[in-house]
Structure formats: C-alpha cells, structure tokens
C-alpha cells in the first residue's frame, strides 16, 4: 500500500508544478504591464483633481476637487469635440467594418491571386500615419493638389478640402477609412479561414443563394471575429490625433476637433497637466461606454 501511495503523491505534486509553471512564466509580463498601465492611470486620476501645471512642479499642485471636470463639461468646444469624436468613431468603424468584410469575402472567393491581393491591400495600413496624412495633404492641396487639378480639367468644382466646413470632416474620415480598412480585412479574412466549406456546399444543395449564405453561414461563423475587430477599431479610432493635427489642426471652426486634439490645444500645449488629466479620464470613460457593447457581445 505504501508503494502505491508514493507515486500518487508524486503525481499530484508533478501536476501542481505543471499548472504553476505557466503562471510563473507570465508573471513578469503581467507585472510589467501593470506597472506601465495601472501606475500612469492612477496618477492621471489623482492629477485630474488638481491644478497641476508642469512648470510649477507637483509640489505646487493643489487639490481643486471637481473643478477641472466642471470646466471641461461646461466648455462648448469640449462638448463639440466629444460629439465630433463619437460621430467620427461610429461612422469610421461602420464603414471600415462593412468595406473590410466585403473585401475579405471577395478575396476569399477568388480561385487565383489571393496572395497578391492580400499584399496589395495591406500596403495602406503598413504606412505610418504621419506619412499617410502628409501624402493626402499634398494630393488634396487647394494650390497644387492632383485631385483638384483633375476636377478642374473635368470642369467640376474644386474645394479647399481641409479648410471648408462642408468637406473637412468627411475628408479626414475617408482618409482614416482608407488607411484602416486593410486591418479589418486582415482580421476578418483570418476568421473566414475557419469556416468549413461543407456548410456552403450543404446550403447550395438546399437552394440558398449567395446573400442567404452570407447572412446565415458567414456572419454567424465569424461573429466573434467581427466583435473583436469592432472593439479594436473603436478604441483606436477614439484616440484619433495625428491625422487631425496634421491635416486640419481641429478646424475649420472646430468641425474636426476631437477630444485628443482639444486636450492637446488647451491642456498639453499650455502644460496644464491637471486639466489634461481630467480630459483623459473623461475620454477613457467614453471609450469604455462605447466598447461595452462589443465586450458583452464577445462574452455571450
């Protein structure tokens, strides 16, 4: 009996050590992530209740309660920036998801040339955001831009794309969609690889057309991938800054001002880090609210 008991205890100890090994391996990474995420977030939250000004230092910062938040929420420019950011995020994510999904389904259906098409489609996403913004600013320049030259040669109206109230918001939106559709395509294309072709063959036998196969087979099978992709794009789009800062600077008349652009102009530029911290907390809360739908969808 003793000889039989010893191996069982040894086996239990071995199983416990095997279960503990992965946790030990990821512990350093988790600690680094906690330090890089939790620490700044906590201090940002603390500073949001102070009048912290960088040149005066943290020692001179005083607790002013909710003043930064009330100043933000009663500021007309900030309210406009919130509306612009939410509207831009919803439109950008909707367009990117729709176009990216259609492209992914189309490329998946090709019999030849999938590798070449995948490579070409990914090129816009591989470019740095600053490069994309500067390239489009040159092409859409009201003085020497090729787009206005083509429109003029066709006797069509030309625009000052980034400084016209009618076109600025839509132009920045289309540039952002152009750059980020490849990301959506890549994720959804990868999700499509897991859909069994047997389901499509069975649907064809039952007489289902292409649209019915898309709604009843493709979408249900990749719904988790769609939710994840939408969540990632929502978080990333909500932080939009580089394109707006380079192309419009938040103008004209605040039509393209985002929360990040507002915080840069009225907080970071003036070194008012307490005010900027309050804006960052508000932005984080809004991102969580917008993302909650996708998170619930992924859980269920």
pLDDT in tens, 144-162: 889 999 999 999 888 899 9
Q: How far apart are CA 30 and CA 52, in angstroms?
A: 30
Q: 1.25.40.10, 3.40.50.300, 2.40.110.10, 1.10.3720.10: which CATH number matches 48-299? A: 1.10.3720.10
What 3-state class would DSSP assign to 112?
coil
pLDDT band at 295; cut points 50, 70, 90: low
Percent of the chain with pLDDT over 70: 92
Q: How far apart are CA 122 and CA 117, in angstroms?
A: 9
Q: Can you read off the two tokens belonging to residue 241?
A: 């800054």
pLDDT at site 300: 58
Lowest mean per-residue pLDDT among 5-19, 57-71, 87-101, 220-234: 5-19
11 or 290, higher pLDDT: 290
220 or 6, higher pLDDT: 220
CB 267 within 8 A of CB 77: no
Q: Which segments of 110-167 does DSSP mark as H helices, in order?
A: 114-126, 129-139, 146-153
Residue 222 burial (10 A CB sphere; 0-12, 13-18, 19+):
buried
1 has pLDDT over 50: no
**CA distances from residue 234 to 68, 131, 226, 237 in whole angstroms, order as listed:** 26, 22, 12, 5
Tokens 């739908």 belong to residue: 293
Distant-in-sequence, close-in-space partners of 262: CB < 8 Å, separation ≥ 6: 77, 78, 81, 250, 279
Nearest Cα to 101, choosing from 208, 197, 195, 242?
195
15 has pLDDT over 80: no
pLDDT band at 289; cut points 50, 70, 90: confident
Q: How far apart are CA 263 and CA 77, in angstroms?
A: 11
Give the pLDDT confidence of 175-216 residue by residue, as tens digits: 999 999 999 999 999 999 888 888 888 888 888 888 888 888
pLDDT at site 299: 55
Mean pLDDT throughout 236-253?
90
295 or 158, higher pLDDT: 158
Q: Can you read off the two tokens belonging to residue 289?
A: 């609210």
pLDDT at site 16: 65
111 has pLDDT over 90: no
Give the pLDDT confidence of 43-73 residue by residue, as tens digits: 889 999 998 888 888 788 889 989 999 999 8
Q: Can you read off the two tokens belonging to residue 131?
A: 């490069």
Give me the residues paired with residue 50 across strands: 63
27 or 18, higher pLDDT: 27
What 3-state class would DSSP assign to 111?
coil
Distant-in-sequence, close-in-space partners of 281: CB < 8 Å, separation ≥ 6: 44, 45, 48
CB 57 within 8 A of CB 47: no
């Amino acid at each position: 009996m003793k000889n039989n008991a010893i191996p069982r205890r040894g086996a239990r100890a071995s199983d416990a050590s095997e279960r503990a090994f992965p946790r030990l391996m990821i512990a350093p990474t988790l600690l680094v992530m906690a330090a890089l995420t939790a620490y700044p977030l906590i201090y940002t939250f603390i500073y949001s209740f102070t009048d912290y000004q960088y040149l005066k230092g943290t020692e001179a910062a005083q607790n002013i309660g909710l003043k930064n938040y009330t100043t933000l929420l009663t500021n007309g420019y900030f309210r406009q920036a919130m509306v612009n950011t939410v509207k831009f995020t919803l439109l950008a994510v909707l367009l990117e998801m729709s176009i990216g999904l259609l492209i992914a389904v189309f490329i998946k259906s090709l019999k030849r040339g999938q590798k070449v098409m995948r490579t070409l489609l990914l090129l816009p996403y591989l470019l740095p955001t600053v490069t994309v913004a500067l390239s489009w600013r040159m092409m859409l320049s009201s003085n020497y831009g090729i787009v206005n030259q083509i429109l003029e040669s066709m006797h069509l109206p030309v625009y000052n794309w980034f400084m016209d109230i009618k076109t600025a918001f839509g132009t920045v939106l289309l540039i952002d969609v152009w750059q980020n559709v490849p990301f959506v395509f890549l994720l959804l294309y990868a999700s499509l690889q897991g859909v069994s072709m047997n389901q499509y063959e069975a649907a064809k036998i039952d007489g289902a057309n292409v649209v019915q196969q898309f709604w009843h087979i493709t979408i249900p099978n990749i719904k988790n991938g769609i939710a994840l992709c939408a969540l990632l794009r929502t978080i990333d789009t909500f932080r939009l800054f580089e394109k707006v800062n380079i192309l419009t600077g938040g103008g004209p008349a605040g039509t393209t001002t985002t929360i990040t652009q507002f915080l840069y102009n009225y907080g970071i530029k003036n070194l008012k880090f307490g005010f900027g911290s309050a804006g960052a907390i508000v932005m984080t809360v809004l991102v969580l609210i917008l993302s909650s739908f996708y998170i619930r969808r992924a859980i269920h």
